[in-house]
Chains A and B, each alone.
Chain A
Amino acid sequence: MVLIIIDALLMLASLYLIYIWVPPAAILGETSRIVYLHVPLAWVSTLAFIVAGLASIQYIRKNAIEYIHCARSSVHIGFFFSILTVITGSLWAKVMWGSYWNWDPRETSITLLLLIYIAYFSLHQIVHTNPKGAMLESVYLVIAFVASPFLIFVVPRLYPSLHPEPVINTQGAILLDTEMRLVLIISVVTFTLFYATVLKLLLKVYKLEYVCTEDVS
């Protein structure tokens, strides 16, 4: 409960910071405000994938049902966040680069992440009644997890990038502005906390569901 309240307050604060307090970036203008949403969303999509991958490894090692619940919840959240990342990203791309989709390396990476999430859901739909289902899902996620550095760092490098460096883009030199950096950090923290809150809630839901099916039988 405390977590929810803190996060709600932080969310309001960052909304104020993003839309009112922080000055627009020099060249990008008012559109630059989307960066404070886009970057945290992309960060959470990646974080959710990492958490899901680690949870799956733990499930395979320990065979405890909590880990698979954690992986599933994390994938659910990551899926929605990566869709939002793609939407905010392509809106911004339209404004800045002139078209919604440019096959830019970062766009390719997030699409691949989205594809992995979709593949996981397809597998989950098919196996969730199977007693071996949880293990199959975990194994798939671990394989994808191991392959992902190649997907994220190698494949995109084969094409030239439009995104500003460094990797988790902070708009390079333009954003060195302390105010902007501060807002970005606050926003990332807020969204990470939001992720943690939702993850906790989903875990509770899964646990209740599991206990219920246990009781019925």
Chain B
Amino acid sequence: MIKGLVRNIVKDLRIEFRSKVVISLILSFSVIVTISIGFASGGIIGSPMVHAILLWVIIFFSGMNTSHLFYREIEEHTALFNLMYYSPESIFVSKLIVNCIIMVAVAAIVGLLYLFVMDVSVYNVSGFAIMMLAGSSALAVCTTIIAAITALVQARGGLFTILSFPITLPIITVVIKSTTQCFSKEIYSSWSAILFLLAFSTLLGVVSYILFPYIWREF
């Protein structure tokens, strides 16, 4: 299991490093959206709430290209090849980890760019950093199985958003609330939010882990 996990992660990262499909799609999407929001608003919007919402909406929609991680295996007929050597569970967990890495990277880049373009001041820097990290990895964990489903029906993008929105809404609501507080002068503790994200993503992660072998077959 561990062997399969490590080899799959190395393989996925190496392929991603060579083809750059997912990361370029996600980055160009998120950067373009962030900058166009900056252009459109001219830096006028002021409310911390609005900033938090915009920031997380950008990150959420950037995530829809992560289904390419699974789609690539199907399109290139490597899914069965992979299954010949490793269990579906280790494939799932490795994709989940790669997905997390990508989403955290995206959150970091989009977050910094957003702060820069929109001139937002962060009062609680550590809280904000933790929220970006926890929120984006929770999003990644909960949407990995959706990414697999959309990859299997080869209707990515739109379907991914439709399917993942109702499920990730708790995450989005909670992180928007906490991020708003980081942008304003209120003193707050992010522990309850983090605990919630942890509980929710663990639950969905475990259920996805159990269900994944049922869909990742018959290629």
Contact = CB atoms under 8 A, between A and B. Distances in A.
B31 interface: no
A118 B162 CA distance: 8
A158 interface: yes
B215 A136 contact: yes
Given A154-B196, A155-B173, A158-B177, 10 more contacts: A115-B165, A122-B159, A123-B159, A126-B159, A127-B153, A133-B153, A139-B214, A143-B146, A147-B166, A158-B174
Contact of A146 (B149, B166, B196, B204): B204
Interface of A is mostly: helix
Interface of B is mostly: helix
A131 B152 CA distance: 11
Contacts of B196: 154
B193 to A, nearest CB: 10
B183 to A, nearest CB: 17
A151 interface: yes
A143 B204 contact: yes
A115 B214 CA distance: 25
A136 B207 CA distance: 14
A146 B165 CA distance: 15
Interface string A109-152: 00010011011001100110011110110011011101100110
Interface size grouping (class) on chain B: 20 to 34
Interface of B: 142, 145-146, 149, 152-153, 155, 159, 162-163, 165-167, 169-170, 173-174, 177, 196, 200, 203-204, 207-208, 211, 214-215, 218
B192 to A, nearest CB: 11
Contacts of A140: 146, 149, 163
A121 B133 CA distance: 33
Contacts of A91: none
Interface string A158-171: 10000000000000
Interface of A: 60, 112, 115-116, 118-119, 122-123, 126-127, 130-133, 135-136, 139-140, 142-144, 146-147, 150-151, 154-155, 158
A94 B124 CA distance: 41
Contact of A139 (B170, B173, B215): B215
Contact of A132 (B167, B170, B207, B218): B218
A125 to B, nearest CB: 10
B145 A126 contact: no
B72 to A, nearest CB: 18
Nearest to A122: B162
A142 B211 contact: yes
Contact of A60 (B142, B204, B214): B214
B170 A123 contact: no
Contact of A144 (B159, B167, B173): B167
A154 B197 CA distance: 12
Contacts of A116: 166
Given A126-B153, A135-B215, A146 B203 contact: yes
